[in-house]
Structure 1
Amino acid sequence: MTRRPQIALLSDGRRLHLQDGPIDLIVEARGETGAVRAAYEAAARRFTGLLDELCAELAELRTAAGERTSLKGVVTRRMHAAVAPYAADGFITPMAAVAGSVAEEILGAMLGASTLDQAYVNNGGDIALHLGRGEHFSVGLMDRPDRAGVMRTMTVKAEDPVRGVATSGRHGRSFSFGIADAVTVLAATASQADAAATIIANAVDLPKHEAIIRKPANELQPDSDLGARLVTRDVGALSHDEVATALESGAECARRLFDRGLIEGAVLRLCGDMLVIGLKDIEEQRSRPLVLENAVA
């Protein structure tokens, strides 16, 4: 039997839900009624068969990225381009950018079909954005992705160079080499944000610390692109100084990426502590009511 993706409006009548295997998207567009309808139809068309496109090149997507690639698909080549800046520094595969790249592709299809005031595609917290003139998008930041609640908000404005938001860490859907509860990155595109969040989250770490439990990735998921490399499974009690050391390790990585123009900012969280790199507005949010307008990362 041929697998068919699940495509339906949510109960609010505003947002579109697209689900196929591990890909689970929430899409919202704002604009004239006809434009929104055309955008949703375009999203559904592009979504259909997208997972098959990725699976067709899965073997190479799960191998270490290099400067060049033989990948053919639009999305798979975008995945490779997003991780390529990090390939010379250590092990990374194009899969590190899959969620952001898919979100970016669906948003592109929507914008190719109609003119919208605002739109986003949220792929499990990795978000591709479109903001027309005068528009803004508020993102709620959780202390940990596996727990409810919002601890901070930040706002992306139309004039900002940010059109992608992504979060990575040991509590997310993918494995992490580091111990960060969550690292949220803002970048020019969702694919770039996705790759950078992975890199920074890996850097939040205390190598060889006895309170950190690690397991080979392929023991937890036999087909993991990380193979036998050790990934974090649990973090025991850490002192305040140890938390600060781990966060600073990640922050130094984030600063380098910021200086290289690969990200526009990052928020790093571990054991209730937070470090902010390259962002100004988030600190001001602490004393304001937290209003979640669009999405949670």
Structure 2
Amino acid sequence: MVNTSVNIGGGITLKNPILTASGTFGYGQEFAPFENLNALGGFIVKGTTLHPRQGNSYPRMAETPAGMLNCVGLQNKGIDYLIEHILPEISHYDTEVLVNVSGSTIDDYVACAERLNDHPKVRAIELNISCPNVKEGGMSFGVHSKSAYEVVSAVRRAYKGHLMVKLSPNVTDITEIARAAEEAGADSLSLINTLLGMAIDIKTRKPKLSTITGGLSGPAVKPIAVRMVWQVAQAVSIPVIGLGGIACLEDVIEFLLAGATAVQVGTYNFVEPDIASRLVHELSAYLTDHDILDVQSLIGALR
């Protein structure tokens, strides 16, 4: 038997390093007909805000040659709806359930995170610091180390559980943001979020997204994601969770070697709805076939 468990800090050990990414997996139960959710290390529910959000106008998705653009805009029914109606439906799964928390202001982030304190199933949140900061002219919290520190430290004071912070790649030096989040009290870091991109319909000469620009995800971003995970893993002492373009086991191993303790499967859930549980099986088989007794021996093992 091989050991596939990994410790992501803050008192949480995953049965294996395969998670599913927020925004691509709904609330989990949508994938239950295709996935063995109990086999996963965990899954992260879609971005949740303090109050309901309608999201952006359509069109808000566009295919690209190696991925997709989206500008969904955090459409959700709010944290109270999640707690009252969604979490009771998914709490029976034998895996970690994390909630992606988003907001427009620091107060929003704090209030949303506080609602999840002491929930019997949710032991961790993923703080999305790539959302618009309305009070600061629409700039994102996650693109400056000062604002990143402020929001993470405020949530850290309010939230008792594991605090994972999701970083934006749309920065000049992601290690500065990572160190600020660590200093502010993050237990782990997840990266990368989507890259800012754009597509134009040459027939209409109009943008393919209602917001003109949107987030690029999928296999096209993986080399950038691996590079940033490698940089951040060397810059901080807390666990790093890698995501961006994972489509096969080789991608998972690549992120682990770069220094990721765990990974999140995102866009490829739309291509192969059972990919995450399949990767769990393939990872165990890979370790057995290569006489690797513990998956942790792969983490940061780049030569």
**TM-score of the alignment, normalized to the shorter chain, above 0.5:** no
Q: Which has the higher contact order (CA 8 A, sep 6+)?
A: 2
**Shorter-chain TM-score range:** under 0.3
TM-score by length of 2: 0.26
Higher strand share: 1
TM-score by length of 1: 0.26
